[in-house]
């Protein structure tokens, strides 16, 4: 089959690799009809994610048709149309039972690697380095889905691929980011980053009762989408001083909650942003937390910082003093996908939201290397790329 | 797999001829490497290899009286290598206990074990892969057994290894989960240095036991061991 493979920093190739096969009793094999490039794939593309190996198949946002099931998988049948969550979870350990699905104890075959780095291992992920399990990803014609009797969600034929595809990651991720804000009626939520996760966080914040959402980015098309489709007030950080603007917009109090939908490769034009860039270039630091610093200093006293953006290493100049002085709550982590997918599919079916608004590029799998470049450079108004591998 | 058996009567020189040559060769290599560095750490490295050279020449470690094959003597005080690991399993205690009590099941999840055969009367024969892939085997007897609480055992005289161990079981979370604690003690064929070298070669006993317990947890909870390729899951 054809698959998008990692070969090094900014070196992505479409290669022919062996078809996946059933390895465990609860597995399923899915023939992929639609697959997307995620903003977090760009962290791999940029060389920020350790334990990637040459030839690793990328991709963790995919859906398709079940073509084979393992002998202990009684939930799925050949022919089912499913969306696959990007986190892999067994459904039976303490963490799965507590709805902390992305922290599953049993789905990472290389748990020891993550334990060395983080103390404990979270769940395995598709196409996201060997530290997270080394599972081949879904930017391919087929994928093997472990624990497929608890992960994939069946979707009705009445909905198009693009309406349900983003249940695989970014819609639940944006939703959990908003839920983590513990929004009360009348609240104002500020969102750093108007990429796909930011856009879904904006809409989810309104769904969960926010009165105002303020979105921060610098790309005109992203700000425009946040304003038009997301009904957010927007700030261009190239033009305004963000903490000052937020203070002005909230009567001097600051937003009740701040979402960092940017993560470890934050851009910025202030002094600390340049400092981060120099340090990471020299391998003296791993992450560039400019957006996170700004969120912490902007947030109102007693407010909440919600972090759906991915961080991987050790942060420098992290303003914990400000977070402490203001009594902030910090919530973060990979999305507990399995908890949100049924709920959000229901929202889509009811017509509350149509996630296909995010798609800007529809291409073939062979175009992946070019699209990674375009997406990274945010060229051609690129916000979300969907590929059709079959 | 080659099994190394040493004669427990030979206290003066209780390691295999091959092991002596290996010790001597390794010591020579390390010393040569160390001295060639012409630096303080290099010399320190070379000096550190002296006991290994002694072992190669004389057949035992300096200041060592040789192993006793009685577990009480060999493993008393701080002697022997201790491995302690614990794991929490989201299954009732009786289910976890049952898997352990059927000793012949253990090689399914404990990868360093090749085979366990129950001989009756609480006795059993064990075959394992030791440090540096040397095979070892021993007979063991269960010395303490309280259902759903504890299983303890020790090796019998005339075994390749002198070992003792226990597994304790504790019901947690209102009976929904079990805390399993393993305590293993052993005087391996290659002594303390064997375990040290094994660690360098990536066979650190704590990590091995931890991976074994993880596999047991995965089998009991998820019903399968996660993997990304055919064959043995990677350790």
Q: Can you tell me the distance from the alpha carbon of A179 to that of A181, in angstroms, rounded to the nearest whole number?
A: 5
Whether residue A91 is found in the same domain as residue A79: yes
At B8 the pLDDT is 30
A39-51 pLDDT, tens digit per residue, is 999 999 998 888 9
Whether residue B83 is found in the same domain as residue B159: yes
B219 touches chain A (CB under 8 A): no
Whether residue A18 is found in the same domain as residue A163: yes
Strand partners, A83: A63, A153
A366 vs chain B: nearest CA distance in angstroms? 25
| Model confidence band, residue B73 (pLDDT cutoffs 50, 70, 90) | low
Q: Can you tell me the distance from the alpha carbon of A264 to that of A118, in angstroms, rounded to the nearest whole number?
A: 16
Q: Are strands B177-187 and B123-129 parallel, antiparallel or unpaired?
A: unpaired
Whether residue A52 is found in the same domain as residue A148: yes
Q: Which residue of A has its CA nearest to B178?
A: A94
| Model confidence band, residue B66 (pLDDT cutoffs 50, 70, 90) | very low
A302-346 pLDDT, tens digit per residue, is 999 999 998 887 887 889 999 999 999 999 999 999 999 999 999
Whether residue A52 is found in the same domain as residue A75: yes
B chain contacts of residue A24, beta-carbon cutoff 8 Å: 224-227
Q: Residue B16 above 80 pLDDT?
A: no
Domain of A317, CATH number, reads 3.40.50.720
Structural domain harbouring A232 = 171-332
Whether residue A136 is found in the same domain as residue A270: no
Whether residue A376 is found in the same domain as residue A302: no
Place of tokens 């000096």: B47
Measure CB to CB from residue A109 to each of B88, B221, B234 and give the nearest one: B234
Measure CB to CB from residue A109 to each of B90, B217, B233 and give the nearest one: B233
Whether residue B160 is found in the same domain as residue B101: yes
B174-203 pLDDT, tens digit per residue, is 999 999 999 988 776 556 555 554 554 445
Q: Looking at the domain assignment, is residue B141 inside a domain?
A: yes
CB pairs under 8 A between A and B: 64
Closest CA to B220 of B52, B87, B104, B49: B87
Whether residue B108 is found in the same domain as residue B210: yes
Structural domain harbouring B49 = 17-58
Q: What is the mean pLDDT of residues A101-125?
A: 95
Q: What is the mean pLDDT of chain A?
A: 94
Q: Looking at the domain assignment, is residue B193 inside a domain?
A: yes
Q: Which residue of B has its CA nearest to A18?
A: B229
Measure CB to CB from residue A92 to each of B222, B225, B226 and give the nearest one: B222
Q: Looking at the domain assignment, is residue B111 inside a domain?
A: yes
At B189 the pLDDT is 59
Whether residue A275 is found in the same domain as residue A303: yes
Domain count, chain B: 2
Where does A52-172 show beta strands of DSSP type E? 61-69, 81-84, 87-88, 124-125, 142-145, 153-154
Q: Which residue of B has its CA nearest to A91?
A: B222
Q: Can you tell me the distance from the alpha carbon of A176 to that of A154, in angstroms, rounded to the nearest whole number?
A: 21
Q: Looking at the domain assignment, is residue B228 inside a domain?
A: no
Q: What is the mean pLDDT of residues A102-113?
A: 96
**Element (H or E) spanning B141, and its range?**
strand B135-146
Whether residue A196 is found in the same domain as residue A83: no
Contact B222 A136 (CB under 8 A): no
Whether residue B125 is found in the same domain as residue B203: yes
The residue among A207 and B19 whose pLDDT is bigger is A207
Contact A106 B229 (CB under 8 A): no
At B162 the pLDDT is 79
| Model confidence band, residue B70 (pLDDT cutoffs 50, 70, 90) | low
A292-313 pLDDT, tens digit per residue, is 999 999 999 999 999 999 888 7
Q: What is the mean pLDDT of residues A12-30?
A: 97
Whether residue B109 is found in the same domain as residue B41: no
* pTM (predicted TM-score): 0.83
Domain of B76, CATH number, reads 3.30.530.20
At B71 the pLDDT is 63
Whether residue B30 is found in the same domain as residue B133: no
The answer to whether the CB of A124 falls within 8 A of the CB of A135 is yes
Q: What is the mean pLDDT of residues A371-386?
A: 96
Whether residue B117 is found in the same domain as residue B182: yes
Q: Looking at the domain assignment, is residue B1 inside a domain?
A: no
Highest averaged pLDDT of the listed ranges A30-44, B28-42, B151-165? A30-44
Q: Which residues contact A130 (CB under 8 A, 6 or more apart)?
A: A51, A52, A53, A56, A110, A113
Whether residue A159 is found in the same domain as residue A206: no
- What angle, 0 to 180 degrees and rounded to 10, lies between the N-to-C axes of helices B191-200 and B205-222? 70
**Element (H or E) spanning B193, and its range?**
helix B191-200
Whether residue A11 is found in the same domain as residue A156: yes
Q: Which chain B residues in 155-174 lie under 8 Å from chain A, judged by CB atoms?
A: 173
A235-247 pLDDT, tens digit per residue, is 999 999 999 999 9
Q: Looking at the domain assignment, is residue B106 inside a domain?
A: yes
Contact A105 B223 (CB under 8 A): no
Whether residue B180 is found in the same domain as residue B149: yes
The answer to whether the CB of B190 falls within 8 A of the CB of B18 is no
Q: Can you tell me the distance from the alpha carbon of A223 to that of A207, in angstroms, rounded to the nearest whole number?
A: 20
Any idea how long chain B is? Answer: 235
At A110 the pLDDT is 95
Domain count, chain A: 2
Whether residue B106 is found in the same domain as residue B200: yes
Whether residue B78 is found in the same domain as residue B54: no
A chain contacts of residue B88, beta-carbon cutoff 8 Å: 94
B222 vs chain A: nearest CA distance in angstroms? 6
A119-146 pLDDT, tens digit per residue, is 999 999 999 999 999 999 999 999 999 9
Whether residue B133 is found in the same domain as residue B199: yes
Whether residue A183 is found in the same domain as residue A306: yes
At B232 the pLDDT is 54
Q: Can you tell me the distance from the alpha carbon of B189 to that of B2, in angstroms, rounded to the nearest whole number?
A: 14
Q: Which residues contact A333 (CB under 8 A, 6 or more apart)?
A: A102, A103, A122, A307
Whether residue A147 is found in the same domain as residue A289: no
Whether residue B168 is found in the same domain as residue B205: yes
B226 touches chain A (CB under 8 A): yes
Measure CB to CB from residue B234 to each of A72, A90, A110 and give the nearest one: A110
């Amino acid at each position: 089959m054809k698959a998008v493979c990692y070969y090094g920093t900014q070196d992505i190739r479409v290669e022919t690799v062996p078809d996946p096969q059933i390895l465990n009793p609860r597995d399923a094999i899915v023939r992929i009809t639609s697959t997307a490039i995620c903003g977090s794939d760009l962290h791999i593309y940029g060389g920020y994610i350790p334990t990637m190996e040459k030839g690793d198949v990328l991709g963790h946002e995919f859906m398709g048709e079940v073509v084979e099931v393992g002998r202990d998988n009684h939930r799925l049948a050949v022919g089912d149309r499913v969306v696959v969550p990007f986190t892999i979870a067994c459904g039976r350990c303490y963490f799965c039972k507590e709805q902390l699905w992305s922290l599953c104890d049993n789905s990472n075959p290389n748990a020891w690697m993550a334990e060395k780095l983080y103390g404990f291992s979270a769940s395995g992920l598709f196409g996201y380095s060997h530290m997270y399990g080394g599972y081949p990803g879904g930017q391919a014609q087929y994928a093997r889905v472990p624990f497929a009797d608890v992960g994939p969600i069946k979707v009705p034929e009445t909905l198009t691929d693009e309406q349900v595809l983003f249940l695989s990651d970014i819609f639940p991720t944006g939703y959990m980011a908003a839920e983590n804000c513990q929004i009360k009626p009348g609240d104002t939520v500020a969102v750093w980053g108007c990429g796909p996760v930011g856009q879904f966080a904006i809409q989810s914040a309104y769904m969960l009762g926010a009165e105002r959402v303020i979105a921060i980015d610098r790309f005109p098309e992203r700000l425009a989408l946040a304003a038009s489709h997301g009904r957010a007030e927007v700030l261009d950080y190239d033009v305004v001083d963000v903490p000052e603007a937020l203070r002005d917009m909230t009567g001097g109090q600051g937003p009740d909650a701040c979402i960092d939908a940017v993560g470890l490769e934050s851009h910025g034009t202030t002094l600390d942003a340049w400092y981060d860039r120099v340090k990471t270039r020299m391998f003296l630091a791993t992450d560039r937390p400019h957006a996170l610093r700004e969120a912490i200093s902007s947030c109102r006293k007693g407010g909440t910082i919600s972090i759906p953006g991915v961080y991987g290493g050790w942060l420098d100049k992290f303003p914990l003093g400000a977070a402490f002085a203001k009594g902030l709550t910090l919530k973060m982590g990979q999305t507990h996908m399995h908890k949100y997918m049924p709920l959000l599919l229901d929202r889509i079916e009811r017509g509350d939201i149509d996630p296909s608004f995010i798609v800007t590029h529809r291409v073939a799998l062979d175009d992946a290397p070019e699209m990674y470049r375009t997406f990274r450079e945010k060229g051609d108004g690129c916000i979300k790329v969907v590929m059709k591998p079959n | 797999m080659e099994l190394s058996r040493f004669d427990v009567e030979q206290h003066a020189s209780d390691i295999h001829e091959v092991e002596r040559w290996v010790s001597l060769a390794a010591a020579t290599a390390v010393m040569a490497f160390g001295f060639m560095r012409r630096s303080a750490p290099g010399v320190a490295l070379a000096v550190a290899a002296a006991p290994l050279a002694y072992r190669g020449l004389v057949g035992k470690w300096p200041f060592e009286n040789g192993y006793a094959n009685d577990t009480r003597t060999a493993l008393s005080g701080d002697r022997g290598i201790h491995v302690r690991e614990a794991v929490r399993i989201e299954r009732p205690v009786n289910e976890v206990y049952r898997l352990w009590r059927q000793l012949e099941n253990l090689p399914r999840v404990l990868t360093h074990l090749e085979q366990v055969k129950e001989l009756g009367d609480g006795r059993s024969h064990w075959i394992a892969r030791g440090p540096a892939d040397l095979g070892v085997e021993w007979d063991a007897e269960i010395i303490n057994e309280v259902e759903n609480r504890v299983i303890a055992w020790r090796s019998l005289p005339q075994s390749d290894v002198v070992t003792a161990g226990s597994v304790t079981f504790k019901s947690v979370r209102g009976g929904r989960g079990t805390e399993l604690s393993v305590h293993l003690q052993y005087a391996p064929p290659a002594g303390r240095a064997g375990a040290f070298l094994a660690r360098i070669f990536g066979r650190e006993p704590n990590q091995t036991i931890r991976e074994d317990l993880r596999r047991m947890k995965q089998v009991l909870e998820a019903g399968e061991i996660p993997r990304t390729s055919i064959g043995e899951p990677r350790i």
